[in-house]
Structure 1
């Protein structure tokens, strides 16, 4: 049976040396960055580099450690103007055989674990997939241009006092009530 062809940044676990780390350095070209920017839904990906190593971990596991560097352009959440952000992230993943990873019973209530860096070990470790995942996790959720201000809008019919944010807060009047009670005593 023929082995599947590996994509850049993919490593067959059986081919990794168990006595020394295996280095990688992914620097997608302009066409690949354009495809990745479409995949992660950003306006542009000016720079992207993911370098690190895959090393043996215990008897049957592997660690992937690396540094992700990227310059992304996203639309401002207020003005939709382009916002450029520099990302520098340290990335760590531990790949363990599935039987070594604790799984909760189906339907059981669970909390999100503190350690989210452990993943099941397959036949291939993909530094490329880790790069894309890490890039997505590092992207600012609400990119905002430095001079962008979110103004306020007031909507009410003529003759009606518009409702303000302060009016909707359940404990907004307690300070006034406390002051009134202090004056009486």
Structure 2
């Protein structure tokens, strides 16, 4: 079984500073009312059920999702700002781009996302790509830039949708089963030319 670990939080912002669009209907939804978060914060453990795992697999191009769970800490910050941090763990079945065989992969990824009101989030999204100092509130204690906050919608944060998003970000776009290999020069007249996984798949399909 292949393991994939992403020890550092992933940035989900594009060059223009906008977050990648989320699905309007999440396959894995766990809504948290921000008014229910105490001043000391709250710990939340999530686990996708069988139906949710099947829906995630269908929409995200996976053979199966055997497990998806996360342990999160939701903390209050200055004003009506919140931070969601924690770890997701998943076990998925992907299709090898070389052999086309299904194989299991274990995934572990860190989550660290700020949330703010929709108005404030929209205002701060314009500063991505520019220098942000600690006085702006969106740099860590070492002065490292952070992504601007995601918007709080209708007073709620969808923790499940956030976990699913980070799962998708952690997937290998060209999954390869351990031990699977191909002759990169076998598909081209140029022995120095490497072939993309898409070209390999095309050749495999033509030969089937």
TM-score in same-fold range (> 0.5): yes
* 1:165 alignment partner in structure 2: 192
CA shift at 1:130, angstroms?
0.5
User: CA–CA distance in 2 between the matches of 1:59 and 1:120?
Assistant: 14
Q: How many residues align?
A: 149
CA shift at 1:73, angstroms?
0.9
User: CA–CA distance in 2 between the matches of 1:44 and 1:61?
Assistant: 36
CA shift at 1:52, angstroms?
1.2
Asked whether the 8 Å contact 1:92–1:117 carries over to 2, the reply is: no
User: CA–CA distance in 2 between the matches of 1:70 and 1:153?
Assistant: 35
Asked whether the 8 Å contact 2:114–2:150 carries over to 1, the reply is: yes
Q: What value does the CA root-mean-square deviation take over the aligned residues?
A: 2.6
* 2:126 alignment partner in structure 1: 104
Structure 2: which 5+ runs fail to align? 1-27, 132-144, 194-208
User: CA–CA distance in 2 between the matches of 1:116 and 1:85?
Assistant: 28
SS in 2 for 1:66: strand
SS in 2 for 1:146: coil
SS in 1 for 2:52: helix
Asked whether the 8 Å contact 2:113–2:150 carries over to 1, the reply is: yes
Residue 126, structure 1, aligned to residue 154, structure 2: no
SS in 2 for 1:104: helix
Asked whether the 8 Å contact 2:124–2:149 carries over to 1, the reply is: no
1:20 to 36, 40, 44: 40
Q: Flag the 1:131–1:117 CA change in 2: closer, same or farther, 3 A.
A: farther
SS in 1 for 2:124: coil
CA shift at 1:81, angstroms?
0.6
* 1:178 alignment partner in structure 2: none
Q: TM-score, normalised by structure 2?
A: 0.63
Determine which structure has more spread, i.e. the larger CA radius of gyration: 1
User: CA–CA distance in 2 between the matches of 1:35 and 1:57?
Assistant: 34
Structure 1: which 5+ runs fail to align? 1-6, 156-161, 167-185
Higher relative contact order (CA 8 A, sep 6+): 2
Q: TM-score, normalised by structure 1?
A: 0.70
CA shift at 1:83, angstroms?
2.2
Residue 153, structure 1, aligned to residue 186, structure 2: yes
Segments of 4+ moved more than 4 angstroms: 110-114
